[in-house]
Chains A and B, each alone.
Chain A
Amino acid sequence: MSDPREPKVSFRDVHIAFGAKKVLQGINLDVMPGESVVVIGGSGTGKSVMLKCMLGLLNPSQGSIKIAGQEIVGISDRAREPILRKFGMLFQYAALFDSLPVWENVAFGLTQAKGVSRVAARPIAIRKLAQVGLGADVADLSPSELSGGMKKRVGLARAIATDPEVILFDEPTTGLDPIMGDVINDLIVDCVKSLGATAVSITHDMASARKIGDRVAMLHQGKIVWQGPAKTIETCDNPYVQQFIHGRAEGPIKMEVRPE
């Protein structure tokens, strides 16, 4: 059995750059089993890149990422495969397979990776769609026939369909109306609480961050500049966090815009 005090996900001094552009410059972060961590930070600071590093879609140039104690930086695709089976991922732009109908998208992880038959997978897919507020009538539509918010929810249903141990949500509530946003927040909380999943979410929505996160980490200029319990985010004295959650233009975070 794995040690319950061993982090499910652990970043140590992770660096990544695209050409001359340094995106992550020494990320250190631990996520414990069953914990839900929310990552906040400005647009373009590398939050999505961080999630992709966890999945091995991008390779850090330096540093170590461990999943349940196992190093994943630099391992072969074959060795990564069993680790990926533990993950569910909601992509920022949903990344639905547009050659497949909605229900096959949701059921993809079941039919392709877990060997569930198509006949058995369809009702599961429809149940997952219901959990994200989509009726059985969308099951046979093609992703191109859906609105942006509906695509996002189908992506969410696909991410949780295999009951993964670790779920990564890239902006789960962006593009949803406030009520549906809250339904999705509840769903994420439910996945963590009832399935015992570990979650890492990215959000720009502070209400959502407080609701779904046990802990919040703030990314700025390639580093985690603050992390702490979600409850303390209002009262902490970190100037970056204060500026960010109140959305002030003045403060230590400088936006690269030049007023005329």
Chain B
Amino acid sequence: MIEALAAIGRLFLGFLRAIGQLTVFTANAISHCAQPPYYLRAIGQQMVTIGYYSLPVVGLTAVFTGMVLALQIFEGSSRFNAESAVATIVVIGITRELGPVLAGLMVAGRVGAAMAAEIGTMRVTEQIDALTTLSTDPFKYLIAPRVIAATIMLPLLVFVADIIGVFGGYIIGTSKLGFNPATYLRNTADFLETIDVVTGLVKAAAFGFIVALMGCYNGYFSKGGAQGVGAATTNAVVSASILILAADYVITEAFFSK
């Protein structure tokens, strides 16, 4: 009985310690992002890796999502003769919700995992110790550039994904569902509000921050060789994905009540 309680207590303490560690890490990361000096080369490199190299994955995700969305919404709206709403609902669905969430999840798998693996390997091969002894702060040199680059690049990626996603809906709408191209585009543009795009981009920035933070955090505290790095990579993707979905709700709720 006592042993069971002790085990529960240990688990709980471990959980609290992890929360504390993550909080300190996040505060540290933010403060290093906010203060110069900046390693501009490192930021530039990360922007290319995160933004440019994620374009194909995010673009493909967006185009198929747009296509599926058009079909499903047509199916749903035709049940009460509201087919003309397809274009509007597709663009709102993409910009407000599916663009940022799906891009965030894809980037978590692609970029977050790579960050955790890279920083984790640097940790277990003592490269992070070597950085410190060469009087370079690993937060400044490794973590801040990744967090800054991801927070800037995800909104740009999502903006592109929004356009590609709408285009996917347009292809299906005009080729399969029999919409007139001009009408479809007019319906897309006329009912779209700035706030739709803005909420999506705000979400994207938050998701970029989450992906980079979880990738760096899990890598930074990984230990125990190849196995530890593997675990860090998995944890980075899983934790980033869950946090993205949770943050998605919180941000939607915040904009919703306005």
Query: In the complex, what's the smallest C-beta–C-beta distance from B60 to chain A, in angstroms?
Result: 28
Query: In the complex, what's the smallest C-beta–C-beta distance from B139 to chain A, in angstroms?
Result: 9
Which of A52, A85, A95, A109 is B127 in contact with, Cβ under 8 Å?
Answer: A95
Within 8 A of B (CB), among A73-97: 77, 81, 84-85, 87-89, 91, 93, 95-97
Q: Does A209 contact B (CB under 8 A)?
A: no
Residues in B with CB closer than 8 Å to A112 are 134-136, 141
Chain B: how many interface residues by the 8 Å CB criterion?
15
Q: Does A98 contact B (CB under 8 A)?
A: yes
Query: In the complex, what's the smallest C-beta–C-beta distance from A136 to chain B, in angstroms?
Result: 22
Per the bound structure, the CA–CA distance linking A32 and B118 in Å amounts to: 40
Query: In the complex, what's the smallest C-beta–C-beta distance from B142 to chain A, in angstroms?
Result: 10
Contact B134 A113 (CB under 8 A): yes
Residues in B with CB closer than 8 Å to A91 are 126, 129-130
Per the bound structure, the CA–CA distance linking A88 and B134 in Å amounts to: 7
Per the bound structure, the CA–CA distance linking A108 and B132 in Å amounts to: 12
Specify the chain B residue showing the minimal Cβ separation from A112: B136
Query: In the complex, what's the smallest C-beta–C-beta distance from B182 to chain A, in angstroms?
Result: 51
Q: Does A249 contact B (CB under 8 A)?
A: no
Per the bound structure, the CA–CA distance linking A77 and B127 in Å amounts to: 18
Per the bound structure, the CA–CA distance linking A175 and B229 in Å amounts to: 27
Contact B127 A84 (CB under 8 A): no
Contact B130 A95 (CB under 8 A): yes
Per the bound structure, the CA–CA distance linking A245 and B129 in Å amounts to: 31
Q: Does A65 contact B (CB under 8 A)?
A: no
Q: Does A1 contact B (CB under 8 A)?
A: no
Contact A93 B141 (CB under 8 A): no
Instruction: Bits for B184-201, please: 1 = Cβ < 8 Å to A, else 0.
Output: 000000000000000000
Specify the chain A residue showing the minimal Cβ separation from B39: A112
Contact A113 B135 (CB under 8 A): yes
Q: Does A55 contact B (CB under 8 A)?
A: yes
Instruction: Bits for A237-249, please: 1 = Cβ < 8 Å to B, else 0.
Output: 0000000000000
Q: Does B81 contact A (CB under 8 A)?
A: no
Specify the chain B residue showing the minimal Cβ separation from A77: B137
Q: Does B125 contact A (CB under 8 A)?
A: yes
Residues in A with CB closer than 8 Å to B122 are 97
Q: Does A20 contact B (CB under 8 A)?
A: no
Per the bound structure, the CA–CA distance linking A89 and B136 in Å amounts to: 14
Contact A55 B127 (CB under 8 A): no
Contact B127 A96 (CB under 8 A): yes
Per the bound structure, the CA–CA distance linking A87 and B136 in Å amounts to: 13
Within 8 A of A (CB), among B12-42: none
Which of A57, A95, A99, A109 is B135 in contact with, Cβ under 8 Å?
Answer: A109
Specify the chain A residue showing the minimal Cβ separation from B137: A77
Known: A93-B125, A112-B141. A84 touches B133 (CB 8 A): yes
Within 8 A of B (CB), among A184-201: none
Per the bound structure, the CA–CA distance linking A225 and B141 in Å amounts to: 41
Residues in A with CB closer than 8 Å to B132 are 55-57, 84
Specify the chain A residue showing the minimal Cβ separation from B122: A97
Residues of A whose CB lies within 8 Å of any CB of B are 52, 55-57, 77, 81, 84-85, 87-89, 91, 93, 95-99, 108-109, 112-113, 158
Closest 6 CB pairs of A and B: A95-B126, A95-B130, A113-B135, A109-B134, A89-B133, A84-B135
> Can you list 18 A-B contacts (CB < 8 A)?
A52-B129, A57-B129, A77-B137, A84-B132, A87-B133, A88-B133, A89-B130, A91-B130, A93-B125, A95-B127, A95-B129, A95-B130, A97-B127, A98-B125, A98-B127, A109-B134, A112-B135, A112-B141
